[in-house]
Amino acid sequence: MIAIENARLFGELQARTRDLEESLEYQTATSDVLKVISRSTADVQPVLDTVAETAARLCGADLAAITIREGEVYRYRAASASEADAEYWAIVRQRTIVPGRDSVAGRVLLEGRAVHVADVSADPDHALPEAVAAGIRTVLGVPLLREGAVLGTINVARKRVEPFTERQIELVRTFADQAVIAMENARLLGELQARTHDLEESLEYQTATSDVLNVISRSTADVQPVLDTVAETAARLCGADGGGITIREGEVYRYVAATQAVAADAEFWETLRQRTIVPGRDSVAARVLLDGRVVHVADIRARPPRQRIPSSGRPCASEPSSPVATASPGGWRSEAGSCKSPTSAPTRTTRIPRLWRPGYAPPLECRCCARGRCSARLISRGSG
């Protein structure tokens, strides 16, 4: 009797020791995950990787994976895959998960609770052939919940039929809570950083506006310092490489101010200052004048200039020798000129109001090739 009692007590002692060791291991693992969370406030990926590896190890699982919501679907973001399962995980990472009955993760998303399947090969609803091909049998899925919303899932699996214990299920729930904490921390930090950036940007804009007003107050008789300051400040605050300002001079517009980056190239800046801008489609500035509104072009090289084919179907034989546009008090006038093309015909005289207005450009074109101003020379005259 004494021997039997000793054996019973020794067995209870061993069981209690195993429980204490297991509890200590669980607490240590939980503490390790919390440490990773504290170090990864802005990046949630290290936390997800640690949770997947730790969950698989402590639950005696062969595989563990975490899915995260991306828009309207869920994707696998972390896994504890070994080299032997590399092909399986390469397939799984490309898969999008939606709430449904065809997978354990889909059921967790559908029901918002833990789902435990003892043998997926015997489950008629399970429809992931790659899982069966990989030898997966027992699967546990636990949701990542925040205020009732399912942010993702933690899935642990065994390649044998061996259901997880209640203690292991609770451990995975704890890991799910920790993953949600890490995700929430990252989200809040992102929002805080975005708000801080917005406030800094607003302050910078207000300071720049104040600087321009100070220049205006000091330059009552000379507008050039104001234009220079506006061009430089606009480029700096918008992260632009350069910028310029055009002002109307009579019937045309000319560049009168530019950023230091543009003006530093003396030859280019001198060429730009000599250019006359009129409403049209050949430049962004010309389009602004034509439309009277903001024009934003994402890539000026992406859209080739439009080419118009003459009615004859043949290109112009050469540049016209003298189609000329003249300016008079009554407006612009296109004078007849000669063109070497056999389809040459006199151009019509067109009068428009003296000042440019949005939505209208003078039809300075050679009728023979209809190419829009067709190398016309703009000559300023004092009278018609």
Residue 370 is predicted with a pLDDT of: 39
**Does pLDDT of 23 surpass 50?**
yes
In angstroms, the Cα distances linking 244 to 240, 256, 259 are 11, 8, 6
Q: Is pLDDT larger for residue 90 or for residue 151?
A: 151
Of 72, 129, 138, 68, which is closest to residue 102 (Cα–Cα)? Answer: 129
What is the 8-class DSSP label of residue 127? -
pTM confidence score: 0.53
CB-based contact 275:254 (threshold 8 Å)? yes
pLDDT, tens digit (0-9, with 9 covering 90-100), for 99-110: 999 999 999 999
**Does pLDDT of 202 surpass 70?**
yes
Residue 348 is predicted with a pLDDT of: 38
**Does pLDDT of 63 surpass 80?**
yes
Least trusted range by pLDDT, from 23-27, 197-201, 217-221, 292-296: 23-27
Alpha helices in the chain (DSSP H): 2-39, 45-58, 86-93, 104-111, 129-133, 166-218, 224-237, 260-263, 266-274, 284-291
CB count in 10 Å sphere of residue 381: 11
**Does pLDDT of 116 surpass 90?**
yes
pLDDT, tens digit (0-9, with 9 covering 90-100), for 339-369: 444 344 444 333 333 444 555 454 444 444 4
CATH number of the domain at 202-291, out of 3.30.1330.10, 3.40.190.10, 3.40.630.30, 3.30.450.40? 3.30.450.40
| Neighbouring residues of 363: CB distance < 8 A, sequence distance ≥ 6 | 334, 350
**Does pLDDT of 266 surpass 60?**
yes
Of the chain, the percentage scoring pLDDT greater than 90 comes to 31
CB count in 10 Å sphere of residue 282: 14
Tokens of 277: 């801008």
With cut-offs at 50, 70 and 90, classify the pLDDT of residue 376: very low
Token look-up 């440019």 returns 356
Q: Is pLDDT larger for residue 125 or for residue 22?
A: 125
Q: Is pLDDT larger for residue 370 or for residue 50?
A: 50
Phi, psi of 184 (to 5 degrees): -70, -40
Of the chain, the percentage scoring pLDDT greater than 70 comes to 70
Phi, psi of 69 (to 5 degrees): -70, 135
Q: What is the mean pLDDT of the chain?
A: 77
**Could you state, in order of their start, the residue ranges of all structural domains in the chain?**
2-187, 202-291, 309-384
CB-based contact 111:150 (threshold 8 Å)? no
Of 343, 305, 331, which is closest to residue 383 (Cα–Cα)? Answer: 331
Q: Taking CA 243 as the corner, what is the angle to CA 239 and CA 246, rounded to the nearest 5 degrees? A: 150
Phi, psi of 5 (to 5 degrees): -65, -40
Please state which CATH number belongs to domain 2-187: 3.30.450.40
Least trusted range by pLDDT, from 194-198, 202-206, 278-282, 360-364: 360-364
pLDDT, tens digit (0-9, with 9 covering 90-100), for 292-322: 999 999 998 886 655 444 444 444 444 333 3
Same fold for the pair 2-187 and 202-291: yes
Of 355, 339, 357, 359, which is closest to residue 347 (Cα–Cα)? Answer: 339
CA distance 157 to 132: 12
3-state secondary structure of 357: coil
3-state secondary structure of 84: helix
Residue 374 is predicted with a pLDDT of: 43
3-state secondary structure of 85: helix
Residue 339 is predicted with a pLDDT of: 41
**Residue 218 identity (one-letter amino acid):** R
